[in-house]
């Protein structure tokens, strides 16, 4: 897959399934505050705040949000991963 400089991959992993999206950005709430991650972001690992909202914009400009009970967020090499808590 060719790398588009304005997008990167987001994988959302739960115990029973996972999904992968091509996105422009993702907004995460950590225990210490919210942050936005876009393409070519420096490597980062963070806890996700319990009972928070994750929002992301797909490359077709569709924005999606979902509630999360908590988890871990990691980004490196233009791939972001959200591992959901059970």
Give 49-71 pLDDT, tens digit per residue.
Answer: 999 999 999 999 999 999 999 99
Q: What is the pLDDT of residue 5?
A: 73
Q: What contacts 55, CB < 8 A, 6 or more positions away? A: 26, 27, 63, 64, 65
pLDDT in tens, 6-58: 899 999 999 999 999 999 999 999 999 999 999 999 999 999 999 999 999 99
Rounded to a whole number of angstroms, the distance between the first and last alpha carbons of the chain is 32
Q: What is the pLDDT of residue 2?
A: 46
Percent share of the chain, pLDDT over 70: 95
Domains delineated in the chain: 8-84 (2.60.15.10)
Q: What is the pLDDT of residue 32?
A: 96
Q: What is the pLDDT of residue 56?
A: 98
């Amino acid at each position: 897959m060719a790398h588009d400089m304005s997008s990167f991959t987001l994988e959302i992993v739960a115990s029973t399934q996972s999904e992968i999206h091509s996105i422009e950005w993702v907004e995460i709430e950590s225990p210490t505050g919210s942050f936005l991650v876009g393409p070519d972001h420096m490597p980062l690992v963070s806890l996700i705040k319990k009972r928070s909202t994750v929002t992301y914009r797909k490359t077709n400009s569709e924005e999606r949000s979902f509630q999360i009970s908590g988890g871990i967020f990691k980004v490196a090499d233009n791939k972001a991963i959200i591992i959901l808590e059970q």
